[in-house]
Amino acid sequence: MKTARRLSPLPLLLILALLIFTAGLITGWTGASTHHPDEQTDPKTLHAQNPAPAQSAPPLPTPTPVPASDKPSAGYDGSGWNLVLVNWEHSLPEHFTVPELTQLRGGQAIDSRAYPALQAMMDDCRAAGLQPVICSSFRTWEGQEGLFEEEVQNWLARGYIQEEAEAQAAAWVARPGTSEHQLGLAVDIVDTGYQLLEKSQEDTPVQRWLMAHCAEYGFILRYPTGKSGLTGVSYEPWHYRYVGVEAARAIMDGGLCLEEYLSD
Ligand SMILES: [Zn+2]
């Protein structure tokens, strides 16, 4: 009996103890799993624990190139990235960056979206027995700033006061934010046999070919002769701008400049 009395509560106690132990284990586990991340100070670990939110995030702020024309404050016309207007009165936003650049030979670069067209045009021009060479292309904001500042210094050295020097400089070098080269869609192409950036560049075999064929590839001669009053830039028979084939044909066939085409 004594043993029976002592024995009978034992299984109960054991069960109770087991229950408490198990409950303790469960709370211990959950406690551990919630506290574990907070206790990690290693940023790598914290990073590794965030894959779920990171993976679900992309659909919202997709880093795919947002058409520049979607930025209303920047002087864009809303017709698409290839028709963005940049000139003396339409400045790029201060922190404008090209979504993606393709590097070319000689340290040149162009917006990746215009690269296939440029490559095809250069290839076909060479296939025609000519020797085009790109001498200027994409410029960073800082790069344009440097060029402009250099020009301002030239005019200051000639005795002009700051304001006048800047005005004079702007006639030769676009102010930062107003150069098409910052867009990444413009290239200066010259003939290997004659590389001076002056009016007579128009007589080179390369320019004759480019002026006749650039529209087929979506490029225009951006600053044609006789349009300086509209473009704000003097005649440049070497500066080509990508606008897409449809616009390029209309502009080149119609003898227009981009400003005229966009104002229609
Ligand atoms: Zn140019």
Residues 44 and 80 in one domain: no
Residues 130 and 198 in one domain: yes
Q: For residue 94, what pLDDT is reported?
A: 84
CATH of the domain at 254: 3.30.1380.10
| Residues 109-151: tens digit of each pLDDT | 999 999 999 999 999 999 999 999 999 999 999 999 999 999 9
Residues 243 and 185 in one domain: yes
Alpha helices (runs of H) in 40-138, residue ranges in sequence order: 43-48, 51-56, 115-127
What global pTM score does this model have? 0.69
Is 236 catalytic? The answer is yes
Which residues have CB atoms below 5 A from the ion given as ligand 1? Answer: 188, 239
71 belongs to a structural domain: no
190 belongs to a structural domain: yes
225 belongs to a structural domain: yes
| Residues 32-64: tens digit of each pLDDT | 333 322 222 233 322 322 333 333 333 333 333
Q: Which of 89, 164, 198, 236 is catalytic?
A: 236
Q: For residue 102, what pLDDT is reported?
A: 97
| Residues 63-109: tens digit of each pLDDT | 333 344 333 333 343 458 999 999 988 999 987 889 899 999 899 99
Q: Compute the distance between CA of residue 26 and CA of residue 34 in angstroms, rounded to an integer.
A: 13
Confidence tier at 260 by pLDDT (50, 70, 90): very high
Angle at 36 between CA 30 and CA 39, to 5 degrees: 145
Confidence tier at 171 by pLDDT (50, 70, 90): confident
Residues 216 and 89 in one domain: yes
Q: For residue 27, what pLDDT is reported?
A: 36
Q: For residue 78, report the distance from its CA to the centre of ligand 1, in Å.
A: 23
The rounded Cα 201 to chain-centroid distance in angstroms is 30
Residues 30 and 118 in one domain: no
162 belongs to a structural domain: no
Residues 121 and 196 in one domain: yes
Residues 11 and 93 in one domain: no
Residue position matching structure tokens 């209309």: 250
Residues 191 and 248 in one domain: yes
Angle at 52 between CA 56 and CA 29, to 5 degrees: 155
The rounded Cα 262 to chain-centroid distance in angstroms is 22
Q: For residue 195, report the distance from its CA to the centre of ligand 1, in Å.
A: 13
Range of the domain at 8: 2-56
Residues 114 and 49 in one domain: no
DSSP 87: B
Residues 38 and 98 in one domain: no
Q: For residue 138, what pLDDT is reported?
A: 96
Q: What are the tokens at 129?
A: 């027995």
Q: For residue 180, report the distance from its CA to the centre of ligand 1, in Å.
A: 7
Mean pLDDT of 225-251: 95
| Residues 199-216: tens digit of each pLDDT | 999 999 999 999 999 999
146 belongs to a structural domain: no
Q: Quote the number of domains for the chain.
A: 2
Amino acid at 262: L
Q: For residue 186, report the distance from its CA to the centre of ligand 1, in Å.
A: 6
Q: For residue 124, report the distance from its CA to the centre of ligand 1, in Å.
A: 21
Q: For residue 145, report the distance from its CA to the centre of ligand 1, in Å.
A: 15
246 belongs to a structural domain: yes
Q: Ramachandran region of residue 248, left (φ > 0), alpha (ψ -120 to 50) or beta?
A: alpha
145 belongs to a structural domain: no
Residues 12 and 119 in one domain: no
Residues 193 and 81 in one domain: yes
46 belongs to a structural domain: yes
